[in-house]
Structure 1
């Protein structure tokens, strides 16, 4: 299929883990189309925006924190095939390592898809729950690989 025959959304996300072994997650409210659940802070890259800048913006909106963006950890692509009345859709997501450099916990997004953010222990059963986006587990696994090669 030619790229002009489907819609694409590019998104950038952050994996932020503190010294206490907790990961910073955002609560996705489902936006009336999907089930709510935990996800990594991040989201759509605006037209003309660089991915690291999108991570900084999205993390601030969703968590209240200022971050310094590190290296990309992994990528993910998923597709939603043709459905009558809707164009095929591809989501391309890049996950970056990031660290907090300021701000304080508190969602700044108004009328968006994030209701709140929280620190969740990496061994919390919520990480493995069906309501947690697979991108969370993917990000954690990619961070562990990156840390094991350092």
Structure 2
């Protein structure tokens, strides 16, 4: 069997009585939403999916959770990263079979039940081989997790992007792409060790954003339609040490260091790190 990955986003819309809007899927029910397209913000995917499945115009209030699951589909084991948003809808009657309902009283698809914190079976999946990477590929969609990471003294942990990668020599938030079968928060803590030799704990989910560059130039040495969905967490390192890069040579991280907040204005930050500090570093 082969591995395959996809990214999807869903919306939980509650009315004043606590009922949730559901869309029909065969004999069961699911949250409206769907797959995130190439170059599409996950929040936009929710709005699009809500309109298609319920006929209602929705808007995103906040991101509430990020999970991952594995399922067998034909001869593939599919890893799906699922982003859950709290959404609101304009007044109207749902159509296309959608309805308001109590999740305790409806048969839910297993991943929908898990998104809502309800028990659901997770059948075992067989081992699967990673897909053979095509060196001539011109499109890539990636799921990644990063941490706005501080220590008890308030210092900020950053990593410097290695030569040959987009944004080379600028300082970035620690983190990176998640592995097959790995949740975003677990992937972040693994990357934190590999890139900085620091052991942290996730204390909150801050945001989900995306980056799309139709002609990105990286180690492939040819233009790529590159789309990354990025989960941002708040992370604390309770016992900080001297940062060092542990991952194998040739990776995307050249260096790691702690910085005092007062010095961040003098640091060459990439755009993602600048926005994270502007919005979430209180």
TM-score tier, shorter chain, comes to 0.7 to 0.9
Kept after mapping to 1: 8 A contact 2:165/2:252? no
TM-score for the superposition, normalised by structure 2: 0.44
Residue 122 of structure 2 corresponds to none
- Aligned partner of 2:199 in structure 1 is 66
Structure 2: which 5+ residue stretches go unaligned?
1-35, 40-138, 217-221
Q: Separation in 1 of the partners of 2:261 and 2:212?
A: 28
Runs ≥4 residues deviating over 6 A: none
Per-residue deviation, 1:46 = 1.2
**Aligned with 1:123 (options 242, 258, 262):** 262
In the alignment, which residue of structure 2 is the partner of 1:109?
Answer: 247
Cα deviation code 1:100-137 (max 9, x no counterpart): 1457322211211112211112222334x3xx211212
What's the CA shift for 1:90? 1.2
Shift of 1:86: 5.4
Which structure features the higher share of helix residues? Answer: 1
Aligned pairs, number: 140
Could you say if the C-alpha distance between residues 100 and 80 of structure 1 is closer, same or farther in structure 2, counting changes exceeding 3 Å? Answer: same
Is 2:151–2:239's contact at 8 Å kept on the other side of the alignment?
A: no
Superposed CA deviations along residues 28-47 of structure 1, whole A, max 9, x for unmatched, are 11335543211011001112
Indicate yes or no: 2:24 matched with 1:24.
no
C-alpha distance in 2 between matches for 1:13 and 1:74: 10
Secondary structure (helix, strand or coil) at the match of 1:65 reads coil
**Is contact 1:14–1:98 with CA below 8 Å preserved after alignment?**
yes
**Residue of structure 1 aligned with 2:186, choices 53, 74, 79:** 53
Matched, 1:97 2:234: yes
1:9-45, CA deviations, whole angstroms, 9 ceiling, x for partnerless residues? 1110011123433210011113355432110110011
Contact 1:22 1:121 (8 Å CA) reproduced: yes
- Per the alignment, do residues 40 and 133 of structure 1 end up closer, same or farther by CA in structure 2, a change over 3 Å counting? same
Structure with more relative contact order (C-alpha pairs < 8 Å, separation 6 or more): 1
Name which one, 1 or 2, has greater alpha-carbon Rg.
2
Per the TM alignment, residue 82 of structure 1 is displaced from its structure 2 partner at its CA by 6.1
- List runs of 5+ in structure 1 lacking aligned partners: none
Kept in 2: contact 1:14–1:42 (CA 8 A): yes
Question: TM-score, normalized by length of structure 1?
Answer: 0.78
What SS is found at the alignment partner of 1:142?
helix
2: distance between equivalents of 1:62 and 1:42? 8
